[in-house]
């Protein structure tokens, strides 16, 4: 099809996101709709667009843009208008007139060719201001050329912009030589890069392709299964399967082995046949060394008075601590590192409260820090202890793409660090946290080792226990907890036993349904019933082990939204992809956002969709309420939110709710695991409802084959401790 050209002015923007524009376009004595990857264009701008006409059911005849450009100004007035536009930084209308008067109608071409030198000769324009103007002019025209060139390969305008920021004017040359650079910048996955490479005519036997595939397979397998490494044979086998799928030119075993060798120490580490992504190897090594260094050390103060403090604490608070609880408190003052574990109802919170109180009496001048992996978990920790708590990220000042504020060179000042929900902490986060802690500080790790491990690579809590870090496991279930069927049945499931339900109590239910669609229907009815009983939406946590299918989070979110918060003329809504966000909806934040002060796992409610004035511009915003704090989102930030009527059990970790409802069915057989069901049911505070089949529950309770994660943390801790004591003995 022959490419057509169409020149005109953007008269109205109908829809815009980071990478796509639909707009009304007036030109050639007619007005029509244009659409395409048109970046940074504003209403009133003149463009030349290239593409083809097509027909759309809603917009009628429209022009599908494949590439576009801003035509160079042809008059003084056009040149002044362009320089004075928001595209050019540091140049208002007065300065624009001055530049055009001095350089002429072709001012923009001269700036692009000569750079700063042609501007500094103009009175009042210093080096700094000239640089800002020149950079804006050069990038404006340079970027659109790069975008136009890369679009033909299937690289979006948004990706092209990122490539320009990374490689500057060389972006096209870099990508045409090695399109797999796109994967290194996390712009696309390997398969998309492979498709782009094919469009460019890159051979399937390219070394760039093999290197990229090795890294892709290694990282994907590690993050999918929580591994820190893959055995070399497995990596080779999986890489060959990926490379040689649907291609006549086959990569050989030796070529993959050579690629692993080429990448070693740059991107990966081959540790005696166990291949790590380099960053995971560093984190595992650093964490093991820090733990071994701190293990066995003690500040040795206050130990003799701890027994007396425990007695005083019991009198003062009118409690009798169990022997294991008292042992945990004593050990806190004997060891620099201590792990406190226990199942529901065994009094972990009680003993942590006692530890904080007694520590303050022993070390009056010391600062204490409490933290947890998620915002919800940290707020819960603060609530139950009465002491301020934060996320681990916030404690050490960790933000995406940046080094932490606190590290080995700039450690935290706190001398007691308490980390809750430790089962959720992956090897990377644990490594960065421990690096930020002083070597003579006391660290208390609190968690339930029977819960799900971290979503990301590593199994840190389990590995620390196996690596010999001192630990106390609370086992006694207190009388008050014994009265809860949620607690007693959680223990039964954790021991592989069947549920015992007393129908005379109203805290535990099992509704038998077999067909997944009927399970979903009953689940919605149950949620409605709890709302009728007076529970708010935020009090009800619907959890599913899976995302897809009739009882997966996607389908259940749609059904629950339709029933609990149906569409109405009085409710505003936005659509993002296939998801509708509506006033009154329950939503979950999916990534840490430090600017907004909301974190991955925080659950809130959409309060309003409105317009606000920002920098003399009216913008559309969605206002969400998170724990009483209002947070604003623009449309292009909706990728940080998901509906939260139903979330995965993994996402629920660190939080609790009065009511929890979980579907359990043989239709998600692969997810029927003891630790998954146990983790889900321990989120419930008042009422627990399972809907499904007893057979599925029996399978889950009997399946204690926790997927083995490939880590060497435990062995490294033990080895490093042995090395440390060997050095001491030699001295």
> What Cα–Cα distance (Å) separates residue 624 from each residue in 314, 592, 600, 612, 621?
43, 15, 15, 14, 10
**Is 458 marked as a binding-site residue?**
no
Distance of CA 86 to the CA centre of its chain: 33
**Is 346 marked as a binding-site residue?**
yes
> H-helix or E-strand containing 10?
strand 4-16
If we measure between CA atoms, which residue out of 391, 394, 387 comes closest to residue 375? 391
If we measure between CA atoms, which residue out of 434, 393, 390, 386 comes closest to residue 411? 434
51: three-class secondary structure by DSSP: strand
If we measure between CA atoms, which residue out of 579, 538, 575, 577 comes closest to residue 555? 579
Nearest 5°: the CA angle 558, 560, 563 is 105
User: Tokens 């998954």 map to which residue?
Assistant: 676
**Is 348 marked as a binding-site residue?**
yes
C-alpha torsion angle, residues 311, 315, 317, 320 (rounded to 10): 70
* Residue 138 and residue 181 in contact, taking contact as beta carbons nearer than 8 Å: no
If we measure between CA atoms, which residue out of 409, 414, 412, 357 comes closest to residue 385? 357
Taking residue 131's Cβ as centre, other Cβ atoms within 10 Å add up to 17
* Residue 310 and residue 321 in contact, taking contact as beta carbons nearer than 8 Å: yes
If we measure between CA atoms, which residue out of 686, 662, 701 comes closest to residue 520? 662
CA distance 121 to 117: 7
**Is 679 marked as a binding-site residue?**
no
Q: Residue 473 pairs with which residues in a beta bridge?
A: 341
> What Cα–Cα distance (Å) separates residue 145 from each residue in 18, 32, 66, 91, 267?
18, 25, 12, 23, 32
427: three-class secondary structure by DSSP: helix
* Residue 164 and residue 40 in contact, taking contact as beta carbons nearer than 8 Å: no
If we measure between CA atoms, which residue out of 399, 430, 396 comes closest to residue 414? 396
Question: What does the DSSP assignment read for 535-586?
Answer: --GGGEEEEES-SSSTTSHHHHHHHHHHHHS---TTS-EEEETTEEEETT-E
> What Cα–Cα distance (Å) separates residue 126 from each residue in 132, 138, 436, 702?
10, 18, 44, 75
If we measure between CA atoms, which residue out of 72, 56, 70 comes closest to residue 15? 56
CA distance 351 to 317: 12
Taking residue 481's Cβ as centre, other Cβ atoms within 10 Å add up to 18
CA distance 103 to 673: 73
- Annotate 214-241 with b (16+ C-beta within 10 A) or e (fewer): bbbbbbebbeeebbbbbebebbbebbbe
* Residue 124 and residue 91 in contact, taking contact as beta carbons nearer than 8 Å: no
CA distance 435 to 267: 22
Going by DSSP bridges, is the β-strand pair 4-16/268-271 parallel, antiparallel, or unpaired? unpaired
Q: Long-range contacts: 181-186, Cβ < 8 Å, 24+?
A: 182/155, 183/212, 183/215, 183/216, 184/212
CA distance 545 to 476: 29
* Residue 419 and residue 443 in contact, taking contact as beta carbons nearer than 8 Å: yes
Nearest 5°: the CA angle 695, 696, 697 is 90
**Is 553 marked as a binding-site residue?**
no
**Which residues 6+ apart lie within 8 Å of 24 measured at CB?**
10, 11, 12, 13, 14, 31, 32, 33
CA distance 500 to 493: 10
Annotated binding site: 345-349
Annotated binding site for ATP: 345-349
């Amino acid at each position: 099809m022959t490419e057509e050209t169409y020149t005109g002015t953007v008269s109205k923007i109908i829809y815009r996101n980071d990478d796509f524009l639909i707009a009304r376009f007036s030109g050639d004595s007619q007005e029509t709709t244009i659409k395409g990857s048109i970046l940074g264009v504003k209403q009133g701008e003149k463009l030349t667009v290239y593409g083809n006409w097509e027909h759309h059911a809603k917009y009628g005849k429209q022009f599908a843009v494949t590439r576009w450009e801003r035509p160079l100004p042809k008059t003084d007035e056009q040149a002044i208008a362009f320089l004075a536009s928001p595209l050019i930084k540091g140049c208002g209308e007065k300065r624009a007139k001055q530049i055009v008067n001095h350089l002429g109608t072709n001012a923009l071409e001269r700036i692009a060719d000569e750079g700063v030198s042609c501007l500094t000769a103009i009175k009042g324009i210093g080096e700094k201001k000239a640089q800002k103007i020149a950079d804006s002019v050069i990038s404006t025209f340079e970027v659109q050329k790069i975008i136009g060139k890369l679009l033909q390969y299937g690289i979006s305008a948004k990706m092209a912009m990122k490539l320009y920021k990374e490689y500057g004017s060389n972006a096209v040359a870099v990508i045409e030589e090695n399109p797999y650079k796109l994967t290194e910048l996390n712009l696309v996955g390997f398969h998309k890069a492979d498709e782009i490479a094919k469009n460019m005519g890159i051979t399937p036997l390219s070394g760039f392709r093999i290197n990229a595939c090795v890294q892709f397979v290694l990282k994907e397998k590690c993050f999918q299964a929580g591994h820190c490494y893959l055995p070399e044979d497995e990596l080779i086998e999986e890489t060959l399967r990926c490379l040689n799928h649907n291609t006549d030119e086959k990569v050989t075993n030796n070529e993959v082995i050579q690629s692993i060798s080429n990448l070693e120490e740059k991107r990966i580490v081959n540790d005696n046949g166990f291949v790590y992504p380099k960053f995971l190897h560093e984190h595992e090594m650093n964490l093991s060394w820090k733990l071994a260094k701190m293990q066995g050390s003690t500040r040795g103060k206050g130990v003799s008075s701890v027994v007396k403090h425990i007695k005083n604490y019991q009198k003062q608070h009118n409690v009798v601590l169990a022997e294991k609880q008292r042992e945990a408190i004593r050990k806190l003052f004997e060891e620099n590192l201590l792990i406190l574990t226990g199942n529901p109802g065994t009094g972990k919170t009680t003993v942590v409260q006692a530890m904080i109180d007694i520590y303050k009496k022993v070390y009056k001048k010391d600062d204490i820090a409490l933290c947890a992996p998620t915002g919800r978990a940290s707020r819960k920790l603060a609530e139950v202890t009465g002491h301020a708590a934060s996320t681990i990220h916030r404690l050490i000042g960790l933000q995406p793409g940046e080094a932490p504020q606190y590290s080995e060179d700039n450690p935290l000042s706190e001398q007691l660090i308490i980390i809750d929900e430790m089962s959720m902490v992956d090897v990377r986060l644990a490594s960065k946290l421990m690096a930020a802690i002083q070597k003579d500080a006391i660290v208390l790790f609190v968690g339930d080792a029977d819960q799900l491990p971290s979503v990301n690579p590593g199994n840190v809590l389990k590995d620390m226990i196996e690596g010999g870090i001192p630990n106390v496991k609370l086992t006694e279930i207190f009388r008050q907890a014994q009265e809860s069927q949620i607690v007693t049945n959680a223990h039964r499931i954790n021991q592989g036993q069947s549920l015992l339900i007393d129908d005379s109590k109203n805290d535990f239910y099992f509704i038998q349904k077999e067909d997944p669609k009927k399970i979903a229907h009953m689940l919605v009815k149950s949620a409605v019933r709890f709302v009728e009983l007076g529970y708010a939406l935020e009090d009800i946590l619907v959890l599913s082990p899976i995302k897809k299918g009739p009882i997966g989070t996607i389908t259940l979110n749609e059904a629950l939204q339709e029933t609990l918060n149906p569409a109405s003329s009085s409710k505003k809504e936005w659509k993002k992809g296939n998801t509708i966000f509506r006033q009154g909806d329950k939503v979950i934040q999916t990534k840490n956002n430090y600017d907004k002060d909301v974190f991955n796992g925080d659950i809130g409610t959409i309060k309003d969709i409105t317009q606000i004035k920002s920098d003399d511009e009216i913008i559309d915003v969605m206002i969400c309420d998170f724990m009483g704090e209002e947070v604003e989102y623009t449309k292009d930030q909706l990728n940080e939110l998901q509906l939260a009527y139903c979330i995965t059990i993994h996402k629920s970790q660190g939080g609790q709710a009065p009511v929890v409802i979980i579907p359990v069915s043989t239709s998600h057989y692969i997810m029927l695991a003891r630790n998954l069901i146990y983790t889900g049911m321990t989120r419930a505070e008042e009422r627990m409802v399972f809907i499904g089949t007893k057979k599925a529950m029996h399978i889950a309770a009997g399946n204690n084959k926790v997927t083995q994660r490939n880590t060497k943390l435990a062995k490294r801790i033990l080895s490093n401790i042995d090395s440390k004591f060997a050095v001491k003995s030699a001295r």
